[in-house]
Amino acid sequence: MSWLLGILALAVLALVAGLILGFAAIRFRVESDPIVEQIDNLLPQTQCGQCGYPGCRPYAEAIANGDEINKCPPGGQATIDKLADLLGREAKPLDAAHGEEDVKKVAVIREDECIGCTKCIQACPVDAILGAARQMHTVIADECTGCDLCVEPCPVDCIDMVAVAVKPERWKWNLDQIPIQDITASSEHSNSEDKQVQTQ
Amino acid sequence: MSFFIASSPHNHQKRTTSRLMQLVLLAMVPGVLAQFYFFGWGIVWQLLIAGFTAVCAESLCLIARERSPLRGLQDYSALVTAALLAVSIPPLAPWWVIVIGTIFAIVVVKHLFGGIGHNIFNPAMAAYVLLLISFPVQMTSWLPPVTLSGESIGWWDSLRLILVQYTSAGYSVDQVRAVATGQLFDAVVMATPLDQIKTDLAQGLTLSESLSKPIFGAFAGHGWLWVNVAYLFGGLMLLQQRIIQWHIPAALLGALAVAAIIGSLAAPDALPGLNIHLFSGGTMLAAFFIATDPVSAATSNRGKLIYAALVGVLIYVIRSFGGYPDAIAFAVLLANLCVPVIDQYTRPTAYGQAGGQR
Amino acid sequence: MIEITATSPLHHFPGGIHPPEQKALANQTPIQRLPLAPMLYIPLRQHSGPAGELCVQVGDHVLKGQALTQPGVDNGLPVHASTSGTIVAIQDHPLNHPSGFSGPTAYLQPDGAEQWIERQPIDDLSRLSHREILMHLQLMGIAGLGGAGFPTARKVAGAQGIDLLIINGVECEPYIVADDRLMREHAAEIVRGSQLLQTITAAKQVVIAVEDNKPEAIAAFETVLAADANVTNTMILRVVPTRYPSGGEKQLIQVLTGLQVPADQLPADIGILVQNVGTAFAVARAIDHGEPLIERVVTITGQALSKPGTAWIPLGTPIDHILSVSGFQPANKQRVIIGGPMMGYTIASLQVPVIKTTNCILAPSAKELAPPEHEMACIRCGACEQVCPASLLPQQLQWLAKAKDYDGLKQHHLADCIECGACAYVCPSEIPLVQYYRQAKAEIREQLIEQQKSEIARQRFEARQARLEREKEERLEKHRKAAEARKAAQAARADSGEEDPVKAALARVKAKKAAQQAAEPASESTDAPADDKKAQVAAAVARAKARKAEREAALAQADDQQKADDDKKAQVAAAVARAKARKAERDAAAQQEKQEDGESS
């Protein structure tokens, strides 16, 4: 008899606890972005396809469905760490099969060589190339994600990926990277290597 | 010849960690001298053994952690830990007591937690607790003050007692203690004044009966009063040199004093008063040298006040109602545990975060 | 409403330090004039905010005070020729910036004539509209001379009808005495500039704040203020106790008013504007004399100099010129600091010019400012927290910065850190705290920029996907409609009994095909005009390929040239490469010929 009572008591307890938990789940529900949105927010949005998916969102969906998190070279280790943190998975090193982490780049069209074929315009995932058929094309540098996708289709090979120059106001205080000059050498006014900037 | 690139500020106060620690060691000198005067050569040997062990343990840890031992030793923090532990244990405790304690403090409490600055517990106090619960006999075998027993043990016999537990004449520590205490108390186990009160109260004596025993002077424990005064003096030196801020000693002593006054008003015959609490145990050492360890204490001024008051109250509670006569180590460790919470809730309001008004 | 009287109590900001002042080194002598440098390097951007647009060319002769840039589309702050001379180059030159980067700079070779451009002083402010006055300040290139060099016109424009204008003569940083000397020698003009600023902003009250370690400057102001009775009604002098960093904008506001500027607001939002005494002086010169900002007082100090002092330095003067006339005796590992010892930065090249924000050049000996020692572990001593003027937890920030916990840093209000360096100054472990904060701030800023960029990229990507989808659907829709229309037409024709156009068309095609097969050789010529374009493109493609091959060949050649022992191999390889390139060219030419053949036939 007593064991029956025990089971009954436990069952009632479980029921009550379940009800409380269920109520709490509805009452105190925290609205959060769906997991795909959260993953997509962490990806760099270069839309480069180096992960093997046609853009960042498809890769986010793939990750949500269990794909590896280390296939994004533009995001690099920082993105992998964040994804690992979000998903509670192990942070792996970047999968070299998909490329390596590189400095930020931007596409530049050598405009006098452009034949106006519009192939790069079709390739650009973020519509950052301006131009029309048989007209010269140019890259809107601010919108370019550096994804590299326009380089391949160009029939005349006139697109360069140029490393983005760091401006003083976006310098990251890497004091150790400042080249140390010799005092004796610096007294000469030599600027021969400096590039001529455009005058108006 | 080349230019030197450096980050601002280019100016520095040049009061380095090593300097701070050296000054702390210096400020301990009066207290150590007082202990030497009242308890003999033991303290000197203990300090030497502890110091040597600490330097070795620190070096080995640093080498194991692939850091430069020379640079690591320069901060003197290991020596401070060793000194604090050495002055806390009975002067004639066997050598392995202090060695085990020091190694535990340096290796486990300090380096296993990440080295200097990362330990959550005060190393000396954690080691003290380890020793106290592991070797209760050795850790409570204090001799009566030399000035009281008249039995002074020479430097050679002290060293022999510590190393091989026998004097050159063949007496053991217990025998020496028996001789020293026998002249006074009919072979009653001799302890610290606080221990004495605890034992007496447990045996049904009243407080005043206990305080009339010779181990107590007119004001506080014989000898211990002067040890405490000496540490108070050293502590005031630290304050004057701005090595420590006033917050921790003031809050600790204040809280202990308030608790003692309330206690002795409530039960004058069962709870010892202010004078005993402040000047008979390790109170001054705790207030100025132990609780002020910056690594394991709270950081903000408000946090320090709360932290130190907690230590003070815990000391009183454990001394009065707990099983141990003195309670510095337990109180400090318990308060160490509370530091993250205290820090979390005593964060100062940053500039401009208070809605534009003060 | 904030109101300050000569007796209203001063307040305290938390923390603060008293580093050795070292001001006597340079403040004993009057402001001098140094010989003109043989070449001035005038960076086109010398202040926070966008640069102006260049309006001179290489070879132009410019007059003293002539604008080299104009506001342009970004409303940048112009820079001016500091003396008359010739623009010999406009090119990248080391910038006066901690990064040591180079940036566009005008090289001005002085002719020594010091010939001024025609100056246009404003006699009567009331004749001009508020907008015109601000434009004048903008065109005169006035920027804040105390701190980051924010364009004064903009700062003033955002602070209209304020309660309190604070003229900051505190100059709390050790060594720097530029403002001190300026106040001693030109108190009247500073007061004049303050009045002008008061008029422009319609500020109800002006307070000139000076630290109590500058008795001469205080006396100078007292004399000027006492002499002018109608000034004293709205303008008072307050002496504040010496404590670093009381000259910080936010700290000075707190000392004078007891108010704190809310974290995400500007002083103007609580009715206060702070301007440096040097700025007030420059405003007075710009309005009363029509002089643009082309020179400033610079403190030249430090024990590595035998002749420290202060001087009027034309903007663009290279540091090495100033140091060499001041008796610079560099030691090994010499530091040359722009600014003071607390917040200044070291420079890697002495070619760096003096710009609008350069208030001090400090060349210390290793003895007076000991070089930083090895960083030790934080012992949580809390000394940094005691001195932080922003009531932050510097040690906590340090842990978080080292752990790259940027969210934690934001929660601990890293953004409110003014980088005054007080924490690092007192740190017994010599942790370069400020450096950690700067790097973390830069990283947070960079992440924010990247986040914004990626958000835009996402939107553009999605917009493009939507567009492609839409176009696809439109195309399908069009096809569907066309098919429907065809069907309808067919049905209509079937009804009317006309000949089926599809069948007719098919018949026509068949007929055409037969005709074509008959006249095969001639077929190409009929398509010639269309092929013309194709041929050109193909030719371009071929040319590009050829060029690529050529480049590769050249590369291979260059590579191989380096290896002297492989000389022969290199030649062979080069020859092969050349042959390949030639072949590619030939191929291309052949193709073209073929095309042309087709055309001609």
Choice among B89-93, C145-149, C546-550 with the minimum mean pLDDT: C546-550
In the complex, which subunits touch A with 3 or more CB pairs below 8 angstroms? Answer: B, C
CA–CA min distance B58, chain C (Å): 15
Together in a domain, B169 and B220: no
Instruction: Read off the DSSP letter of residue A135.
Output: S
Q: Is residue A50 within 8 Å of A73, Cβ to Cβ?
A: yes
State whether residue A145 sits within 8 Å of chain C by CB.
yes
**pLDDT of C90:** 93
The answer to whether position B117 is within a domain reads yes
Which pLDDT score is estimated for C164? Answer: 92
Q: Are residues B225 and B328 in the same domain?
A: yes
Of C19, C332, C438, the CB nearest to B1: C332
Cα distance between residue C98 and residue C227, in whole Å: 44
Asked if the structure places residue B200 within a domain, the reply is no
Same domain for B70 and B35? yes
B3 touches chain A (CB under 8 A): yes
User: What count of CB pairs under 8 Å joins A to B?
Assistant: 17
Interface contact flag, C91 A115, Cβ < 8 Å: no
Among candidate residues B98, B115, B106, the one with its CA nearest the CA of residue B17 = B115
Residues β-bridged to residue C166 = C207, C274
* Identity of the residue numbered B64: A
Number of neighbours of residue A41 by Cβ within 10 angstroms: 17
Give the pLDDT score at C559: 58
The answer on pLDDT for A199 being more than 50 is no
- State residue C544's pLDDT score: 72
Measure in Å the smallest separation between the Cα of C208 and chain B Cα atoms: 22
Answer yes or no: is B4 within a domain: no
> Is B68 found in the same domain as B31?
yes
Q: Is residue B9 reached through a cis peptide bond, with omega within 30 degrees of 0 on the bond before it?
A: yes
- Widest pairwise Cα distance in chain B: 82
Which residues in chain A are closer than 8 Å to C453, comparing Cβ atoms? Answer: 45, 145
Given B190, B225, B246, which residue is the final one in a domain? B190
Site of tokens 């004058």: B268
User: H-helix or E-strand containing B30?
Assistant: helix B17-39
The per-residue DSSP string of C48-83 comes to: SS-B-EE---TT-EE-BT-BSEE-TTTTPBP-B-SS
Q: What is the pLDDT of residue B325?
A: 79
How many CB atoms are closer than 10 A to CB B147?
Answer: 13
pLDDT at C358: 93
Q: At what angle do helices B328-345 and B301-321 cross, to 10 degrees?
A: 150
DSSP 8-state class, residue B111: I
Q: Cα torsion for A8, A10, A13, A15, to the nearest 10°?
A: -70
Give domain status of residue B71, yes or no: yes
Q: Which position has the higher pLDDT, A14 or B147?
A: A14
Say yes or no: B179 and B252 in one domain.
no
Q: Is the pLDDT of residue A1 over 80?
A: no
Q: Which of A180, A183, A184 sits opposite B5 (nearest CB)?
A: A180
Asked if A195 and C104 come within 8 Å (Cβ–Cβ), the reply is no
Give A-chain residues touching B3 at CB under 8 angstroms.
180-181, 183
Give the residue from C331, C330, C327 showing the smallest Cα distance to C307: C327
Distance from CA of B308 to the nearest CA of C (A): 15
Q: Whole-angstrom Cα distance, residue C172 to residue C243?
A: 7
Tell me the one-letter amino acid at A166.
Answer: V
Contacts of C494 (CB under 8 A, 6+ apart): C500
**C349-to-A176, A185, A191, B4, C438 alpha-carbon distances in Å:** 15, 10, 12, 10, 22
In this complex, the residue of B115, B297, B348 whose CB is nearest that of residue C377 is B115
What is the distance in angstroms between the Cα of C436 and the nearest Cα belonging to chain B? Answer: 10
Name the 3-class secondary structure at A96.
helix
- Cα C290-C357-C409 angle, rounded to 5 deg: 140
pLDDT level of residue C530 (50, 70, 90 thresholds): low
| pLDDT tens sequence across C483-525 | 999 999 888 877 776 666 667 778 788 888 777 777 655 444 4
Question: In chain A, what residues touch B5 (CB-CB under 8 Å)?
Answer: 175-176, 178, 180
Q: State residue C499's pLDDT score.
A: 63
Residues of B in contact with A175 (CB under 8 A): 5-7
Put simply, the answer to whether B350 touches C373 (Cβ < 8 Å) is no
CB atoms within 10 A of CB A3: 7
Collect all residues of chain A within an 8 Å Cβ-Cβ radius of residue C540.
Answer: 115, 155-156
Contact yes or no for C93 and A194 at CB 8 A? yes
Predicted pLDDT at B39? 85
Set of chain B residues whose Cβ sits within 8 Å of the Cβ of C379 = 17, 75, 77, 116-117, 294-295
- Is C488 part of the contact surface with chain A (CB cutoff 8 Å)? no
pLDDT value of position C561: 54
pLDDT tens digit sequence for A32-90: 667 888 888 888 888 888 888 888 888 988 888 888 888 888 888 888 888 888 888 88
User: Please, which pLDDT band fits residue C556 given cuts at 50, 70 and 90?
Assistant: low
At residue C572 the predicted structure's pLDDT band, cuts being 50, 70 and 90, is: low
B349, closest residue in chain C (CA to CA): C391
pLDDT at C93: 92
Q: What is the pLDDT along chain B (358 residues), one digit of tens a residue?
A: 567 788 888 888 878 888 889 999 999 999 999 999 888 888 999 999 999 999 999 999 999 988 888 888 888 899 999 999 999 998 888 999 999 999 999 999 999 998 888 899 999 999 999 999 999 888 887 777 777 766 677 888 888 888 887 777 777 777 777 666 655 554 344 567 787 788 778 787 777 777 777 777 767 777 888 899 999 999 999 999 888 889 999 999 999 999 999 998 988 877 888 888 888 888 999 999 999 998 999 988 899 999 999 999 999 999 888 878 778 999 999 999 999 999 889 888 888 887 534 3
Place of tokens 């006066």: C96
CATH topology of domain C32-346: Rossmann fold (3.40.50)
Residue C554, pLDDT score: 67
Residue of A nearest to C461 (CA): A126
Q: Per mean pLDDT, which of A191-200, B167-176, C123-132, C429-438 is the most reliable? A: C429-438
- State residue C563's pLDDT score: 52
| Same-domain pairing of B268 and B122 | no
Q: Closest chain B residue to A176 measured between Cα atoms?
A: B5
Tokens linked to C225: 């203020």
Domain count of chain B? Answer: 2
Pair B40, B177 in one domain? yes
B3·C334 Cβ contact <8 A: yes
Query: Does residue B2 belong to any structural domain of this protein?
Result: no
Instruction: State how far the Cα of C309 lies from the Cα of A171, in Å rounded to an integer.
Output: 32
A chain contacts of residue B10, beta-carbon cutoff 8 Å:
none
B6 part of contact set with chain A, CB < 8 Å: yes
pLDDT in tens, C85-121: 999 999 999 999 888 888 999 999 999 888 999 998 9
C205 φ, ψ (degrees, to nearest 5): -145, 150
Q: What is the pLDDT of residues C197-238, one digit of tens each?
A: 999 998 989 999 999 999 999 999 999 888 877 666 788 899
**A45 and C461: CB-CB below 8 Å?**
yes
Whole-angstrom distance, CA of residue B324 vs CA of residue B132: 10
Q: How far apart are CA C414 and CA C438, in angstroms?
A: 9
Q: Of B161, B190, B219, which marks where a domain is finished?
A: B190
Find all residues with CB under 8 Å of C539, minimum gap 6, and list them.
C588, C591, C592, C595
**Which chain C residues contact residue A199 at CB under 8 A?**
54, 57-58, 90
Site of tokens 């073209």: C592
DSSP letters for B295-308? TTS--SHHHHHHHH
Is C334 touching B (CB cutoff 8 A)?
yes
Domain boundary among B139, B160, B190: B190
pLDDT of residue C596: 54
Give the C-alpha separation, A93 to A69, whole Å: 9
Within 8 A of A183 by CB-CB distance, chain B residues are 1-3
Residue C533 has pLDDT above 80, yes or no: no
Q: What pLDDT is recorded for position A188? A: 40
Q: What pLDDT, on a 0 to 100 scale, did the predictor assign at position B186? A: 42
Touching C: which chains, 3+ CB pairs < 8 A? A, B
B195 falls within a domain:
no
Per-residue CA distances from A65 to A39, A62, C34, C121 (Å): 11, 5, 72, 72
Contact criterion met (CB below 8 Å) for A72 and A80: yes
Contact assignment for B348 to C391 by CB distance below 8 Å: yes
Nearest CA in chain A to C97: A168
Is the CB of residue C59 less than 8 Å away from at least one CB of chain A?
no
Residue type present at position A5: L
Question: What span, in angstroms and rounded, lies between the C-alpha atoms of B10 and C372?
Answer: 7
For chain B, give the percent of residues with pLDDT over 90.
44
Choose among C426, C7, C21: nearest CA to C242. Answer: C21
Q: What's A175's DSSP letter?
A: G
The residue assigned the tokens 């008249």 is: B150
C109 touches chain A (CB under 8 A): no
Cα distance between residue B145 and residue B36, in whole Å? 10
Q: Do B6 and A178 touch (CB under 8 A)?
A: no
In degrees, rounded to 5, the angle at the alpha carbon of residue C73 between the alpha carbons of residues C70 and C78 is 25
Q: pTM of the entire structure?
A: 0.79
Please check whether residues B46 and B162 belong to one and the same domain: yes
Check CB contact under 8 Å for B3 and A181. yes
Q: How far is CA A49 from the centre of its chain?
A: 11
Confidence bin at C312 (pLDDT 50/70/90): very high
Domains of chain A: residue spans and CATH: 35-98 (1.10.15.40), 105-169 (3.30.70.20)
Contact state of A184 with B1 under an 8 Å Cβ cutoff = yes
Interface contact C263, partner B, CB < 8 A: yes
Query: Domain range holding B242?
Result: 206-339
Give the burial string for C276-299 (b: 16+ CB within 10 Å, else e): bbbbbbbbbbbbeebbbbbbbbbb
Smallest Cβ–Cβ distance between C270 and the set B8, B300, B356 belongs to B356
Within 8 A of A191 by CB-CB distance, chain C residues are 89, 91-93
Which residue is closest to A179 within chain B, CA to CA?
Answer: B5
pLDDT recorded at residue A166: 80
Is B351 an 8 Å CB contact of chain A?
A: no
B272-281, C130-139, C308-317, C407-416: the lowest-pLDDT one: B272-281
Would the pLDDT of A21 be above 60?
A: yes
What token pair was written down for B310?
């907690």
Owner of token pair 């001639």: C522
DSSP for C168-225, written as a single string: EE---STT--HHHHHHHHHHHHHHHHHHHHHHHHT-SEEEEEEETT-HHHHHHHHHHH
